[in-house]
Chain A
């Protein structure tokens, strides 16, 4: 286990302990019912997470990474931004993969607005995170709604980047 994973686990369980203590101060009934509520959610979610984790590995294996870097061509204007957005949503794997592809694209001469659009689109729509986390936990209607209203924003970020110029 890496140090950052350990820090995450400590903050996470620390927050659980603090909120649990606050619930207990409200009375035993509050504590018991919130723990029961949380555990029921957990039990309901485990099979979906199982499908998400095990399934997304296969989906990721089918998409070759070269396809995605290929899409992030060098200075390609709005068409480049559009392909960057699609590539961001289609990028499999966790943050290492997403950011590394962004870094590679910058190195091989991809335009900064396109890479910004890619990273923002990846943050907003990466299909693996949506399948694995967002859909199991949130009401389905919320997820589709959230994704739909997020569509303009990678383009907006690219537009701002084009106007302001390079960092």
Chain B
């Protein structure tokens, strides 16, 4: 967070040198407006994460999405990411909740990557109208194996890096 804060300060200073104080204030008001729009959704996402962490039975999650869940766990993670409603304000809190209830990095990576690459929300709302049906369907078809492969690679690397399980 400190790095990001410093980066922001540098960029704000660059904007100020280029566009003066008006440029800085323009971006600030626009972003504050965006912030106000986003905040209720963030709250909804956090509540979803909280409910999921409480409702889902931990032993079941770690069996079906844990380190021993094999290809099936990666497929479940991929399917879950593809059907998850909402935007980043749901995907990341829910992914974080899955990690806390026993999903491993591999299955969670499959879920996050599947949400960004084949989740229907963004494809229908933005990609179809802007890039066209042919390109979008083709791009999604090519992307289909990626979440599973990324999750698998994540698992392989994770086991090599932390042979005794995740350090806390």
Residues of chain A at the chain B interface (Cβ within 8 Å): 4, 8-9, 11-13, 15-16, 19-20, 22-23, 26, 30, 33-39, 41-42, 45-46, 48-59, 61-62, 95-96, 99-100, 102-103, 106, 112, 115-116, 119-120, 123-124, 129, 131-139, 142, 145-146, 148-150, 152-153, 156-157, 160-161, 164, 167
CB atoms of A99 and B105 under 8 A apart: no
A89 to chain B, nearest CB (A): 13
CB atoms of B50 and A35 under 8 A apart: yes
Q: Which of B127-156 contact A (CB under 8 A)?
A: 127, 130-132, 134-135, 137-139, 142-143, 146, 149-150, 153-154
Known contacts A58-B12, A61-B11; A160 and B142 CB within 8 A of each other? yes
> Taking each of A57, A133, A138, which has the highest tally of chain B beta carbons within 10 Å of its own beta carbon?
A57
List, in ascending order, chain A residues with CB within 8 A of B45's CB. Answer: 12
CB atoms of A39 and B96 under 8 A apart: no
List, in ascending order, chain A residues with CB within 8 A of B95's CB. Answer: 137-138
Q: Is B70 an interface residue (CB 8 A)?
A: no
Closest 5 CB pairs of A and B: A38-B50, A55-B8, A137-B92, A34-B54, A19-B51
CB atoms of A54 and B108 under 8 A apart: no
CA A138 – CA B105 in complex, angstroms?
Answer: 11
One of B24-32, B59-67, B72-80 at the interface: B24-32
Chain B residue at smallest Cβ distance from A8 = B86
List, in ascending order, chain B residues with CB within 8 A of A9's CB. Answer: 40-41
A120 to chain B, nearest CB (A): 6
CB atoms of B11 and A45 under 8 A apart: no
CB atoms of B149 and A45 under 8 A apart: no
Chain B residue at smallest Cβ distance from A115 = B135
List, in ascending order, chain B residues with CB within 8 A of A58's CB. Answer: 8, 11-12, 14-15, 24, 27
CB atoms of A34 and B150 under 8 A apart: no
Q: Is B71 an interface residue (CB 8 A)?
A: no
B107-123: CB near A (< 8 Å → 1, else 0) gives 01100110011000110
CA A161 – CA B138 in complex, angstroms?
Answer: 9
Q: Which of B19-57 contact A (CB under 8 A)?
A: 23-24, 27-28, 30-32, 34-35, 38-55
CA A4 – CA B42 in complex, angstroms?
Answer: 17
List, in ascending order, chain B residues with CB within 8 A of A35's CB. Answer: 47, 50
CB atoms of A124 and B39 under 8 A apart: no
CB atoms of B51 and A13 under 8 A apart: no
B149 to chain A, nearest CB (A): 7
Known contacts A4-B125, A52-B4, A137-B93; A149 and B150 CB within 8 A of each other? yes
List, in ascending order, chain A residues with CB within 8 A of B53's CB. Answer: 34, 37
Known contacts A8-B87, A16-B48; A145 and B113 CB within 8 A of each other? no
B23 to chain A, nearest CB (A): 7
List, in ascending order, chain A residues with CB within 8 A of B88's CB. Answer: 129, 132-134
